[in-house]
Amino acid sequence: MKEILQTVDSVTPMRCTFDECRDYTRTFAKSFYFSSFLLPKEKRAAAYAVYTFCRYADNIVDSGTTAAEDIRSRFTELNLFLDEVYDSPSLQLLSNSAFAQTVKKYSIPRKYFSDLIEGVCMDTELKRYNTFAELENYCYKVASVVGLIMTEIFGYSHKAALPYAVYLGKAMQLTNILRDIKEDYRMGRIYLPDDELKCFEYTEDDISNERMNENFAMMMRFNIDRARAYYELSTHGFPYLTNDGSRTTVVLMYKIYSSILSEIEAYGYDIYSGRRYVSTAEKLKLTAGYLLNRSERKRFSRLPDSKHHERLRSLYPNMNFDM
């Protein structure tokens, strides 16, 4: 773990070339790197540059060894870098930073990165969440905005794609939370909302002692069902994505990440004895299955009719489909 953190710290988005961002993504984002192979070369490079920024910001907090003063200093440095990129970009900066070139080329809104930094900072301030609404706000800032950034790179035919990117980001973050309950607890964090823990009568002591009882199973089933509902919602945005490999990349990420939930189920919800993941062989199987499934590819390319959003609003009255 120490070696990994040293590698992360040796790379910063301020000075990363496109080749360095590619290598960084290949090391630390195996599922995304795998899914990106069908992207056009320029979009793939841009996606890696953005991932490097997002991962660097996240690791400032997740290293677990950084003093509070150093954390503040690093985030100040990141914000100053963003100021330079957006407000007074120099030719030298654009030539030396893959991230700066990507932001300019794809006109990615500054607010997305500001929201991301704000979300990551929440991990230094909040160790528990009272309600799912609070947790959902966190998921938006640390994951959904990444989806929105990637959507700007991938391209879309209508802004209707954006709220669905938000739901895919939330689904993926909820998946991370379920998979990493043990690891997060060791870092002093419990993301599962307090009111839901009380509802299922599953306590911090249960997490600490890694108890797998019926209450735990019911809680996991509930959370997996909710995450799957978000995944299913996100699929309605796929037809709006550019069909140059970008749509397929997002579909593969959806399939691979949602399969982590199936892995958790296959192990009887046991997330304590090992980290659940999708093997390379299974990723290849999911990819081939999708590429050979003409009806599914057609489904994900068919634009919805004019009544589509109204139907979704009636089915999911608490969901926001506007951006």
pLDDT interval class at 315 (50, 70, 90): low
Same domain? For 120 and 247 the reply is: no
CATH number for the domain spanning 299: value is 1.10.600.10
Average pLDDT across the chain, whole number: 90
Same domain? For 45 and 193 the reply is: no
DSSP letter for 237, please.
G
Q: What is the pLDDT of residue 2?
A: 35
Same domain? For 145 and 290 the reply is: yes
Domain end: 82, 102, 125, which one?
125
Q: What is the pLDDT of residue 73?
A: 85
Same domain? For 35 and 170 the reply is: no
**pLDDT tens-place string over residues 158-170:** 999 999 999 999 9
Same domain? For 131 and 97 the reply is: no
Same domain? For 106 and 136 the reply is: no
pLDDT interval class at 127 (50, 70, 90): confident
Q: Would you call 103 exposed, middle or buried from its count of C-beta atoms within 10 A (0-12, 13-18, 19+)?
A: buried
Residue 230 lies in a domain: yes
Q: What is the pLDDT of residue 310?
A: 72
Using alpha carbons, list the distances in angstroms from residue 52 to 20, 22, 191, 246, 315. 9, 9, 24, 19, 37
pLDDT interval class at 66 (50, 70, 90): low
Identity of the amino acid at 161: A
Domain end: 59, 91, 125, which one?
125
**pLDDT tens-place string over residues 148-205:** 999 999 999 999 999 999 999 999 999 999 999 999 999 999 999 999 999 999 999 9
Q: What is the pLDDT of residue 229?
A: 96
Domain end: 92, 125, 158, which one?
125
Region 246-268 average pLDDT: 97
In the chain, the number of structural domains is 2
How far apart (Å, rounded) are the C-alpha atoms in residues 240 and 264? 31
Same domain? For 150 and 109 the reply is: no
List own/partner pairs for 124-133 with CB under 8 A and 24 or more apart.
124/61, 124/68, 124/71, 127/188, 127/189, 127/190, 128/189, 128/190, 128/194, 129/191, 129/192, 129/193, 129/194, 130/193, 130/194, 130/195, 131/193, 131/194, 131/195, 132/193, 132/195, 132/196
**Three-class SS string for 53-120?**
HHHHHHHHHHCCCCCHHHHHHHHHHHHHHHHHHHHCCCHHHHHHCHHHHHHHHHCCCHHHHHHHHHHH
Q: What is the pLDDT of residue 126?
A: 81
CB-CB contact of 98 with 17 (8 Å)? yes
Backbone angles phi, psi at 305, to 5 degrees: -80, 175
Same domain? For 144 and 108 the reply is: no
DSSP letter for 38, please.
G
Domain region containing 42: 1-125
123 CB neighbour count, 10 Å cutoff: 20
Q: What is the DSSP string of 270-283?
A: --SSS-----HHHH
Residue 99 lies in a domain: yes
